[in-house]
Amino acid sequence: MIDLQPYKDKLNHLKGQRELLIGQRDEVEKHIEILSYQLETATQARSIVQIVAENTQAKITYHISNLVSSALAAVFPTPYKFEMRFVQRRNKTEADLIFNKEGNESDDLMNSAGGGVVDIAGLALRVALWSLRKNRAVIIMDEPLRFLSADLQERASNMLKEISSKLGIQIIMVSHLKGMIAAADKVITIDKGAIIE
């Protein structure tokens, strides 16, 4: 007579393992289902964030590019056009600042133009970025356009007046350049700490 007990024991052991594996499979399937739902939700959220980011970037680009280009056009006879381009690098969004003069693009204004162009572009960029925050209606500047040539200073003064009017801000500026005060509403002359006029 053959002893079947070891086979029955082995069968029961295998049935137990099978039930354990089925239980583990069910848990894994539930976990996969949860992860799939989370992935789908995260993908939808990323799409929404991407759309919002693109819309925000477009508005910022329009605002800043127009303000800087307008400032450059108000001062220089053959102005640079300014463009801000958002690009993806190293899994981050970065902004490239591009200056275009007569079809020639450059992202290195310091080496492709004079200090006056850099001064105007830098001032316009600061004002544009400041205007996006709108936390105060006053900007204080100390010699902002010191490298601008004398023949362009009056045009720069008019440009600052126009920016002040368009953005509804007050600009308080320290300057020793006579041309820079041409469009000022009020001029206070100070010599060695004393108010002259």
Give 58-98 pLDDT, tens digit per residue: 888 888 899 999 999 999 888 788 888 888 888 888 888 88
Q: How far apart are alpha carbons 154 and 188 in whole angstroms?
A: 18
More confident residue, 126 or 1: 126
- Summarize pLDDT for 24-65 with one digit per residue, the tens: 999 999 999 999 999 999 999 999 998 998 888 888 888 889
Is the confidence at residue 194, as pLDDT, over 80?
no
**Which residues 6+ apart lie within 8 Å of 139 measured at CB?**
126, 127, 130, 169, 170, 171, 172
Read off the pLDDT of each residue in 104-117 and give the average, rounded to a whole number: 75
Is the confidence at residue 112, as pLDDT, over 80?
no
Read off the pLDDT of each residue in 109-127 and give the average, rounded to a whole number: 80
Query: What pLDDT score was predicted for residue 34?
Result: 96
DSSP string, the chain: ----HHHHHHHHHHHHHHHHHHHHHHHHHHHHHHHHHHHHHHHHHHHHHHHHHHHHHHHHHHHHHHHHHHHHHHH-SSPPEEEEEEEEETTEEEEEEEEEETTEEES-HHHHS-HHHHHHHHHHHHHHHHHHH---SEEEEESTTTTS-HHHHHHHHHHHHHHHHHHT-EEEEE---GGGGTT-S----EETTEE--
Q: Which domains can be identified in the chain, with CATH numbers?
A: 46-195 (3.40.50.300)
CA-closest candidate to residue 93, choices 130, 125, 50: 50
State what percent of residues in the chain have pLDDT above 90: 25
In angstroms, what CA-CA distances link 94 with 87, 88, 190? 5, 6, 43
State what percent of residues in the chain have pLDDT above 70: 96
